[in-house]
């Protein structure tokens, strides 16, 4: 069993681009999605992005539509992957967790990837939360950019659930 904590998230340029396109299209609302990973603790390689609908339709909050979450988690389980990160955008703020992000982090072993669309190019950063002595501590998850060809074609999938 692998360590549930992700310290480094490898992200191919193609998936990064797919995430950015989705998040930018969702403006003026926050965009949201899920990253699936193949794990080799503490290293996790992103293998698929599942875009989601923000049912809050808000520029400052997001809730991914439950049908999108279930479809993504079903595909992740079928493929033997793991839920690696919840991805969302901040339209005007930095790519750091807000109080709301921290308070509503319902998947504690899952990284957060936050993309700030307030800058050009957009700023993308990874985070994870730890609880120590009742205190929430925010830790950086290193996002390691890799060429798109790193993930073999038999592992990569179209991000749309089957």
List residues with catalytic annotation: 30
- The two tokens of residue 51 are 């875009």
Q: How far apart are CA 69 and CA 34, in angstroms?
A: 8
Q: How far apart are CA 111 and CA 104, in angstroms?
A: 13
Q: Which residues contact 53 (CB under 8 A, 6 or more apart)?
A: 32, 64, 65, 68
Give the count of alpha carbons within 13 A of 69, CB side only.
Answer: 13
Burial 74-109 (b: 16+ CB within 10 A, else e): ebbeeeebbbbbbbbbbbeeebebeeebeeebeeee
């Amino acid at each position: 069993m692998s360590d549930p904590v992700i310290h480094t998230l490898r992200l191919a340029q193609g998936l990064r681009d797919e995430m950015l396109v989705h998040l930018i299209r969702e403006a003026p609302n926050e965009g949201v999605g899920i990253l699936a990973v193949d794990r080799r603790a503490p290293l996790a390689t992103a293998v698929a992005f599942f875009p989601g609908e923000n049912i809050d339709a808000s520029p400052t909050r997001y809730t991914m539509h439950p049908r999108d979450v279930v479809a993504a988690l079903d595909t992740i389980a079928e493929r033997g992957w793991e839920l690696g990160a919840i991805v969302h955008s901040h339209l005007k703020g930095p790519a750091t967790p807000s109080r709301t992000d921290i308070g509503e982090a319902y998947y504690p072993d899952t990284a957060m990837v936050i993309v700030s669309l307030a800058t050009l190019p957009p700023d993308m950063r990874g985070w994870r939360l730890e609880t120590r002595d009742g205190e929430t501590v925010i830790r950086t998850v290193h996002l390691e950019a890799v060429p798109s060809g790193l993930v073999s074609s038999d592992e990569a999938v179209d991000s749309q659930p089957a």
